[in-house]
Amino acid sequence: MIANPPFSLKEWGAENWANDPYGRNIAGVPPQGNGAMAWVQHMIKSMNSTGRMTVVLPHGALFRKGVEGRIREELIRQDMLEAVIGLGPNIFYGTQLAACVMVFKQNKEAGKKCKIVFIDASEQVRVGRAQNFLEPEHVSQIFNWYQSFSNEENYVKVVSIDETKETDFNLNIPLYVEKIIEDNLPSVEETLADLKTAWEASLQAEEKFKAILKNYM
């Protein structure tokens, strides 16, 4: 299943969820003002034994606390969450917000059990004047990262469920995918040497300037 449900829908039927006749309340009742986790549970419940589900959500679904945090914890403990993918901003019509994709699988492969792959794909985007775009090469790169299920510096991190416990089941991507920033700044010693050279050059230029002025006086 692939879904892009309404973001932050308020009138989503919270009053019926606690006693849902279809058994979709598998992890808890989402808050009245945000039905994101209701959509997620509905789709998870709809998967068969070999099912996979991907859903586009705002990033807040990854880290909001309270009721949503408890639902997220329960879903993580059930070990169906396979991947969390962060996309670039302004890709979807109607919102400039950056979105994320969560991938769930009913039965993970043996090597992926009790693990989640986090992918920072925020740079995989072509910036347009009014709208940004995912080009085929961007989609291909994201899929390759997802399929390889292995660490890639600055972009991909495979994390155990136990590691998410240490962050109180917060799935915010920067907590796991750390960016290495290369500033390429010179050392203090190099800066001081350059400053000394520049100072000496300025003194020489000043003496030369004084000599020129003296010839005209």
CB atoms within 10 A of CB 75: 22
Closest CA to 96 of 126, 58, 64, 61: 58
Q: What is the pLDDT of residue 196?
A: 78
What's the domain count of the chain? 2
Closest CA to 163 of 96, 130, 116: 116
Return d(Cα 33, Cα 27) in angstroms, integer. 17
Q: What is the CATH number of the domain that holds 107?
A: 3.40.50.150
Closest CA to 102 of 12, 36, 199, 9: 36
Examine the domain organization and report whether 203 and 162 are in the same domain.
no
> Tens-of-pLDDT digits for all 217 residues of the chain?
888 888 777 788 888 888 888 889 889 888 888 888 998 999 999 999 889 999 999 899 999 999 999 999 999 999 999 999 999 888 887 677 888 999 999 999 999 999 999 999 999 989 888 888 889 999 999 999 999 999 999 999 999 999 999 999 999 999 999 877 666 667 777 777 787 788 778 878 777 777 777 777 6
Examine the domain organization and report whether 154 and 203 are in the same domain.
no
- Greatest pairwise CA separation for the chain in angstroms: 102
Q: What is the pLDDT of residue 217?
A: 66
Q: What is the pLDDT of residue 139?
A: 94
Return d(Cα 81, Cα 43) in angstroms, integer. 12
* 180 within a domain of the structure (yes/no): no
DSSP state of 19: T
Q: What is the pLDDT of residue 6?
A: 80
Examine the domain organization and report whether 89 and 44 are in the same domain.
yes
Return d(Cα 36, Cα 10) in angstroms, integer. 9
Q: How do 52-58 and 81-86 pair as beta strands?
A: unpaired
Q: What is the pLDDT of residue 211?
A: 78
Return d(Cα 196, Cα 198) in angstroms, integer. 5
Examine the domain organization and report whether 171 and 189 are in the same domain.
no
Examine the domain organization and report whether 108 and 203 are in the same domain.
no
Edge-to-edge strand ranges of the sheet holding 81-86: 2-3, 52-58, 99-105, 81-86, 115-120, 156-160
Q: Cβ distance 98 to 120 under 8 Å? A: no
Q: What is the pLDDT of residue 182?
A: 64
* 125 within a domain of the structure (yes/no): yes
* 149 within a domain of the structure (yes/no): yes
Examine the domain organization and report whether 30 and 92 are in the same domain.
yes
Q: What is the pLDDT of residue 77?
A: 95
Q: Cβ distance 45 to 22 under 8 Å? A: yes
Examine the domain organization and report whether 55 and 119 are in the same domain.
yes
Q: From its phi and psi, is residue 23 left (phi > 0), alpha (psi between -120 and 50) or beta? A: left
Burial of 198 (0-12, 13-18, 19+ CB in 10 A): exposed
Examine the domain organization and report whether 26 and 47 are in the same domain.
yes
CA dist 76 to 98, 122, 164, 183, Å? 23, 23, 9, 37
Domain that holds residue 46: 2-175
